[in-house]
Amino acid sequence: MGQVLGCVQVDQSTVAIKETFGKFDDVLQPGCHCLPWCLGSQVAGHLSLRVQQLDVRCETKTKDNVFVTVVASIQYRALADSAQDAFYKLSNTRNQIQAYVFDVIRASVPKLDLDSTFEQKNDIAKTVESELEKAMSHYGYEIVQTLIVDIEPDVHVKKAMNEINAASGMREAASEKAEAEKILQIKRAEGEAESKYLSGLGIARQRQAIVDGLRNSVLAFSESVPGTSSKDVMDMVLVTQYFDTLKDIGASSKSNAVFIPHGPGAVKDIASQIRDGLLQGKAAE
């Protein structure tokens, strides 16, 4: 009914292009407008002023000959003041923006290696946005924002990069493990050295106590039994220790048999052998 009466409605965030006998006449803002069709007035089309988004996938090659797919997200909108240019100058806005994005990305990325491409994606986005802004402003469009949302290397390159990172991680782990084992060995050696040092101190004190006990025993025996010499007392002590040793050997569960010379005169020989062995050991020290 509105069209029959020559009335049209323009929605919010939209403008309409008015033509008279096929020639541009005016830009109709949101609201209700009267178009006398009998005088050749008509609406040629509508133009949205909302922000639109275009995702562009561009395959290119980096400086180190790695093929990557760069995904750019372009946010743009038509300007109300330049609605005439936006409506008449471009037949396919999205294809035009995509062509400019391809041109800029394929001119920028080949100057960078793969790592730099990831590091400088914000710079690439700014370059794309700057070039698009200069180009699309002549057609009545504003570039709101440009984002590089993803950089996808070739599948084989990505697999190789993952393997390199895995190998690097394993190498670092092996280095850390070796360092830890080195520290453990050092600490273990320090512990063994300290243990042997303390054990030596214990043995030295034990021997000192034995010597002191023997000396006291010899002095006490010589005083209690007149006419005995220190040599007689030492012979008796050595023989006593000799029999104690035999007793311990016989009591051990791991001993099978021990053959020793034994007779009435063997005790003196044993005492002489023990004493001579001690004296030789002391002389060797």
The number of beta carbons lying within 10 Å of the beta carbon of residue 98 is: 18
Give the tokens for residue 64. Answer: 């180190």
Express as a percent the part of the chain with pLDDT over 70: 78
Q: Classify 75 as helix, strand or coil.
A: strand
pLDDT tens by residue, 148-158: 998 888 777 77
pLDDT mean across residues, the chain: 80
* 129 neighbors 143 (Cβ within 8 angstroms): yes
pLDDT tier at 1, thresholds 50, 70, 90: very low
Q: Residue 4 pLDDT > 60, yes or no?
A: no
Average pLDDT estimate for 42-69: 89
- Poorest-confidence range of 68-72, 136-140, 160-164? 160-164
* 37 neighbors 54 (Cβ within 8 angstroms): no
pLDDT tens by residue, 170-188: 888 888 888 888 888 898 8
What is the rounded CA–CA span in Å between residue 185 and residue 188?
A: 5
pLDDT tier at 266, thresholds 50, 70, 90: low
Q: For the whole prediction, is pTM greater than 0.75? A: no
pLDDT at 233: 66
Give the tokens for residue 175. Answer: 């280095």
Give 38 or 88, the one with higher predicted confidence.
Answer: 88
Give the tokens for residue 99. Answer: 């062509």
Q: Residue 3 pLDDT > 60, yes or no?
A: no
pLDDT tier at 258, thresholds 50, 70, 90: low
pLDDT at 202: 84
Average pLDDT estimate for 197-204: 84
What is the rounded CA–CA span in Å between residue 192 and residue 147?
A: 64
pLDDT at 2: 46
pLDDT at 273: 65
Cβ-based burial of 151 (10 A; exposed 0-12, middle 13-18, buried ≥19):
middle
Q: Classify 227 as helix, strand or coil.
A: coil
Domain extents for the chain? 7-48, 52-153, 231-253+261-284
Q: In which residue are the tokens 């008015």 written? A: 18
Q: In which residue are the tokens 């986005």 written? A: 125
Beta strand pairing status for 67-78 and 52-61? Answer: antiparallel
* 134 neighbors 118 (Cβ within 8 angstroms): no
Return all residues near 36 (Cβ < 8 A) that are at least 6 apart. 6
Q: Residue 167 pLDDT > 80, yes or no?
A: no
pLDDT tens by residue, 201-241: 888 887 788 777 777 776 776 677 676 666 666 666 677 77
The class (CATH top level) of 52-153 is alpha beta
43 - beta bridge partners? Answer: 18
Cβ-based burial of 15 (10 A; exposed 0-12, middle 13-18, buried ≥19):
buried
